[in-house]
Amino acid sequence: MQTSEPELKAWMISGLGGDAAAHACLLRALIPMLRGFFRRRMPGQGAAIEDLIQETLIAVHTRRATYDPQRPITGWLFAIARYKMIDQFRASSRYCSIEGLEDMLVTEGFAEASDAATDIDRLLDDLSPKQAAVIRATRLEGLSVAETAARERIGESDVKISVHRGLRLLATRVKDSLR
Amino acid sequence: MTSEELIERLTRDFRPVQRHALGWRLCAGLGLGAAVSFLLVVRLGFRPDLWIAMHGFAFWMKWVYTASLGACAVAATAKLARPDTPPLSWLWVLAMPVLGLAAISVAELAHAPSDHWLEMWLGRSWKVCSSTVFLLSLPIFAGLLWSFRRLAPTRLRAAGATAGLTAGAWGATLYCLHCPEVSAIFVLTWYSLGIGLASLAGALLGPRLLRW
């Protein structure tokens, strides 16, 4: 299961302040996220993926001073993961040429992705905590209705209704803001 | 090694990161490099009329030009030192000092008889100006490379180019202490050429030297 952005951020900030336990929590939580990230992009390369995960963890650790607490941590993390992945492709020089690296990194658009994450956070803030939680679980983290119901300790029909009402509310908010 | 062992090893003797560590790291590299370049300028010798020149327009025109380029370049380098670089569309402001100096050049040329133009453009030191600016940029560029060893650029060519621009612009700022030229068109041509060469070198070397 994915750890939420605020939780990761809180660990990161405590870690930057010198809390080794929080930093270890952060690194542990990143492993499944990175595994998902690399698996989607490099299907069927299990061993390479495990190496990349460790490389990325080391980079996150040694270069944690480059994290800006004003910005989303997932944007920062995946930017590092993507860089490490492309670096590895380049080293094995099977998948892409050295020349195109900048363009690939630019066009992948981290800034847009992190801005989008911030926008989603802002929109979900307008909803009730329950609606926000179930929308996050079902639509962003990709859990099933049953898993969400179990995690949030509410009924399955309640999950469905909350998602439906929440999304309808969001749709009207967005429409209003565009008008 | 399992991931758990790795995490165990990484969090052993764990140290806090001081606030604004990235900024300090860049400033330290820039400062160390600039100190070396400054010593080189001392060796070249300050212009003899430095104190008098500092009361005049031409000296400050040159300093404002190179230092404003340098300040923009440092800001862009600091952005590119993070993996998730925000958009750098604001870099168009770099055109402002260039256009400003171009306007001063045109005004100066318009007020001078046309048979002085060539002399104003070439000055007495055009042959050495650009290459000296470029040489003075090298220690600063090396300092920035040291800074980058702990940072995480992902757009290596862009980061190399802005590091080169930073080095060139601050190298030129120090060179002003030596160079006695006064005309705007001279600075616009030969200083900019040296600064441009430094950023070109940075862009070419960036992907190789900034890898991590």
CA A171 to CA A165: how far, in whole Å? 10
Quick: pLDDT tens for B84-130.
988 888 999 999 999 999 999 999 999 999 999 999 999 989 999 99
Chain B residues touching A21 at Cβ < 8 A: 11
> Which amino acid does the sequence have at A152?
E
Chain A residues touching B3 at Cβ < 8 A: 28, 31, 50, 53-54, 57
User: Chain A window 88-107: which residues touch B at a Cβ cutoff of 8 Å?
Assistant: 98, 101-102, 105-106
ipTM: 0.85
CA B3 to CA A56: how far, in whole Å? 11
* A35 touches B at CB < 8 Å: no
CA A123 to CA A11: how far, in whole Å? 24
Residue from A53, A56, A83 to probe the interface with B (highest B Cβ count within 10 Å)? A83
**Which residues lie closer than 8 Å to A97 by C-beta, 6 or more apart?**
none
8 Å CB contact of A105 and B152? no
Give the pLDDT of residue A111.
Answer: 56
Chain B residues touching A98 at Cβ < 8 A: 207
Residue A158 CA to chain centroid, in angstroms? 26
Among A81, A65, A90, which Cα is nearest to B207's?
A90
CA B102 to CA B111: how far, in whole Å? 14
Mean pLDDT within A22-51: 89
Q: What percent of chain B has pLDDT over 90?
A: 79
Q: How far is A7 from chain B (nearest CA, A)?
A: 18
Decide if B136 contacts B171 (C-beta within 8 A): yes
Decide if B195 contacts B66 (C-beta within 8 A): yes
Q: How far is B194 from chain A (nearest CA, A)?
A: 25
Among B211, B110, B203, which Cα is nearest to B163's?
B203
Quick: pLDDT tens for A155-166.
888 888 888 888
8 Å CB contact of A63 and B150? yes
Give the pLDDT of residue A104.
Answer: 54
Least confident segment among A31-40, A83-92, B135-144, B199-208: A83-92
Give the pLDDT of residue A94.
Answer: 54
What count of other Cβ atoms lies within 10 Å of the Cβ of residue B26? Answer: 23
Residue-level length of chain A: 179
Among A145, A170, A171, which Cα is nearest to A159's?
A145
* A18 touches B at CB < 8 Å: yes
Structure token pair of residue A46: 């299990």
> What does pLDDT average to over chain B?
93
pTM over 0.80: no
